[in-house]
Chains A and B, each alone.
Chain A
Amino acid sequence: MTGIVGAFVEAWSEIRIHRTRVLLSLIGVAVAVAALTSVVGLGAITQQATTENYERQSGRPATLFVSAYNPTTGATPDAKTLSTAFLTVTDRYSVDWTTRSTYAQVSVDFTEGLTPVDTMVVDVDYGTMHRVQMLTGSWFTAGDEQRLAPALVVNETVWKRLGSPDLRTHPTVTIQGADPVTAVIVGVTPDPPYSQGYATMFMLYDSYMAIAAPAQVQSLYPQFEAWVPTDIAEDLTGLIQRDIAGALGDGWQVDVNRQDYLVYQGEDPLLSIKLLVGGVAVLVLLLGALGLVNISLVTVRQRIREIGIRRSFGATAGRVFFAVMMESVVAAAAAGVVGVFIAVLVVKNPMVVGFIAQGITDVPAFPLEAALIGLGAATFVGALAGLLPALVAVRVKVIDAIRY
């Protein structure tokens, strides 16, 4: 115990005394750690951005899409029948997350008159299944389905055209279904960076059905999605396909398939880039380690006399080894902390984030794993670089070292 503490004390005093030299030798390590950590950190952000994007488009893994048609006539079953079959079957297999979704145009009465707005008609689960981000207010809840005045989640453009009302005041807007209806705005989604000024909104499936004109209902072709655990996705695909086909009766071809990004791309679509940049960072780190070895070897040679003196006052060979090793480890770990700090500044820099992950709505926190990898790499390099000088230090002949 006192041995370990003592070695730390020694190592620290050693580093303090050779400040400048240690600092110089550590610049390489700090830079390499900063690079490595930045790569891992940016990798995580890029991946998050890409994943979010994929998931917004085609659902989270594993999302099953259900569709049906008549192979001879090409007709599709009517929305209500398929909807009932879908909900019954998914309920049978205890699928927690399901949604219907379809596009519709709903006219909204802005002060300047009625304007058609592209509307996604979905179920409550859609928000979670497609990671819908909120600017203010909140996504639909189960209670919204029972409202008399339909609830709306509008995008930023719509919200701004209505004068950016505070959602706590329950702002309403008149929309045109079969008849004019007053709807309540419960949430606002942010506009994606490159399609500002384009009005869209969400409406719940059942609310839409309640206000839509019969002709509109007729021309509805909803998609059916179920979000299921990936490990049972394959089994469920077969079961749902079979049961819905059974519910619809003869003549209908039912397709159930996965469309989330994991089906198309392997586990990590960015693996090759990550490997490349990571490889470069590891190379830089090894070069930094080489510099560290070089400098600490020179240092140890200069310190042979000092080591001899310490040995004459009772430092064992093991202790000298550990202390010299510790110097390198402590110093490199300190450089690692600096490197990680630089990496955090780089990765959290809005310019960098904007460049690397355009359109990301939710920048993840600096990934802990990146910081740990950076620190771990620095410590490892320190140990590696300390090994050689420590071996030299142990072989110092005390008598020769203090001979003058």
Chain B
Amino acid sequence: MTLLELEGVTRTVELPDDEPLHILRGVDLTVSVGDHVSIVGRSGSGKSTLLNLLGLLDNPTSGAIRFDGRLISDMSANQRDRARGRDVGFIFQQFNLLGGRTALENAMTPLLYASGRQFWRREQIALEMLDRVGLSHRAQSMPEKLSGGEQQRVAIARALVRGPRLILADEPTGALDVETGASVMALLDEVAHSSGAALITITHDANIAALARRHYRLDRGVLAPVDVNRVLALAQPEVTL
């Protein structure tokens, strides 16, 4: 079942006293329920820009984005906010946990915007999710007291508490060492898979990208499928850097 569909999506920003900057040039992409897609690309190639569009945080300059079969340009800002809260979970490179709140409070945050059972039982749901990522014993810890890997696991729990159908991970291992990154990624892959959510991972790291089932490369605003072996091969020069 198709969850997300991009057709000829472009994103251009107007720069003052300069030519407009074409960050994305005609991106086509279809993501189905349960998919695992990786997108690699150099710094500045437009990966985060694309991710914002996928997560309904931004509007394309031209082209069509369909979420759940609905054109997002037809949805009101409120509808997009609600759809995002319900169906999308973000994981950021810098974790982006809320300071001063415990791991549990952080994991509970998205449930504050839910309604009904999810809202009223938010603490229990968040605790269960922290348990899933192996952090139930740190539920009352502040993010500053947690290691990078632990923080990213809290972020994963937070992204998953509302049971989203789409998980967007922007450089989820970017701030972690190789070993921690691999274990966090394995966890993310496992949790996403068992919940049946589609996972889109944006990364520099070919080894992380290789975990996905389908592989894309973003090059100066153009998205193209790549062969996984080519991805790994491409990664070699970077590793030596």
Interface residues of A (CB under 8 A from B): 1-3, 5-6, 9-10, 13, 17, 305-306, 309-319, 398-399, 402-404
- The answer to whether B90 and A3 have CB atoms under 8 Å apart is no
Is B36 interfacial (CB 8 A cutoff)? no
- The answer to whether B101 and A312 have CB atoms under 8 Å apart is no
- The answer to whether B84 and A312 have CB atoms under 8 Å apart is yes
Is B100 interfacial (CB 8 A cutoff)? yes
Q: Contacts A316-B77, A399-B52, A404-B94 given; 12 further ones with Cβ under 8 A?
A: A2-B115, A2-B119, A2-B120, A5-B119, A13-B101, A311-B81, A312-B55, A312-B57, A313-B113, A314-B113, A314-B114, A317-B77
Point out the residues of chain A lying under 8 angstroms from B216, CB to CB.
Answer: none
Of B99, B105, B115, the residue contacting A3 (CB under 8 A) is B115
Min Cβ gap A323→B in Å is: 9
Point out the residues of chain A lying under 8 angstroms from B90, CB to CB.
Answer: 312-313
Among B104-140, those with CB < 8 Å from A are 105, 109-110, 112-116, 119-120
Interface digits, B20-53 against A, CB 8 Å rule (1 contact, 0 not)? 0000000000000000000000000000100010
Point out the residues of chain B lying under 8 angstroms from A404, CB to CB.
Answer: 93-94
**Distance, CA A133 to CA B82, complexed state (A):** 67
Is B176 interfacial (CB 8 A cutoff)? no
Of A10, A17, A310, A402, the residue contacting B100 (CB under 8 A) is A17
Of A17, A305, A310, the residue contacting B109 (CB under 8 A) is A310
Closest 4 CB pairs of A and B: A314-B85, A313-B110, A314-B113, A17-B100
Min Cβ gap B198→A in Å is: 17
Point out the residues of chain B lying under 8 angstroms from A3, CB to CB.
Answer: 115
Point out the residues of chain B lying under 8 angstroms from A315, CB to CB.
Answer: 81, 85, 112-113
Interface centre among A2, A309, A310 (most CB of B within 10 A): A2
**Distance, CA A9 to CA B114, complexed state (A):** 13
Contact A314 B110, CB 8 Å, known A2-B116, A3-B115, A17-B101: yes
Interface digits, B142-163 against A, CB 8 Å rule (1 contact, 0 not)? 0000000000000000100010
- The answer to whether A317 and B86 have CB atoms under 8 Å apart is no
**Distance, CA A316 to CA B77, complexed state (A):** 8
Contact A313 B85, CB 8 Å, known A3-B115, A318-B78, A402-B92: yes
- The answer to whether A313 and B158 have CB atoms under 8 Å apart is yes
**Distance, CA A305 to CA B112, complexed state (A):** 18
Min Cβ gap A20→B in Å is: 12
Which applies to chain A's interface (DSSP): helix, strand, loop or mixed? Answer: helix
**Distance, CA A314 to CA B86, complexed state (A):** 7
- The answer to whether A399 and B58 have CB atoms under 8 Å apart is yes
Min Cβ gap B15→A in Å is: 15
- The answer to whether A317 and B114 have CB atoms under 8 Å apart is no
Interface centre among A5, A17, A399 (most CB of B within 10 A): A399
Min Cβ gap B114→A in Å is: 7
Point out the residues of chain B lying under 8 angstroms from A13, CB to CB.
Answer: 101, 105
- The answer to whether B78 and A316 have CB atoms under 8 Å apart is yes
Is B2 interfacial (CB 8 A cutoff)? no
Min Cβ gap A85→B in Å is: 78
Is B98 interfacial (CB 8 A cutoff)? yes
Interface centre among A1, A10, A309 (most CB of B within 10 A): A309
Among B62-98, those with CB < 8 Å from A are 77-78, 81-82, 84-86, 90, 92-94, 96, 98
Interface centre among B90, B98, B100, B112 (most CB of A within 10 A): B112
- The answer to whether A314 and B119 have CB atoms under 8 Å apart is no
**Chain B: CB-nearest residue to A14:** B100
**Chain A: CB-nearest residue to B168:** A312
**Distance, CA A66 to CA B92, complexed state (A):** 90
**Chain B: CB-nearest residue to A323:** B112
Min Cβ gap A268→B in Å is: 50
- The answer to whether B48 and A2 have CB atoms under 8 Å apart is no
Min Cβ gap B121→A in Å is: 11
Q: What are 22 inter-chain pairs, A to B, with CB distance below 8 A?
A: A2-B120, A3-B115, A6-B119, A9-B112, A10-B112, A13-B101, A17-B101, A310-B109, A312-B55, A313-B85, A314-B81, A314-B86, A314-B114, A314-B162, A315-B112, A316-B81, A317-B77, A317-B81, A399-B58, A402-B92, A404-B93, A404-B94
**Distance, CA A1 to CA B114, complexed state (A):** 11
Point out the residues of chain B lying under 8 angstroms from A1, CB to CB.
Answer: 115
**Distance, CA A306 to CA B99, complexed state (A):** 9
**Distance, CA A311 to CA B94, complexed state (A):** 17
Point out the residues of chain A lying under 8 angstroms from B105, CB to CB.
Answer: 13
**Distance, CA A403 to CA B51, complexed state (A):** 12
Min Cβ gap A304→B in Å is: 13
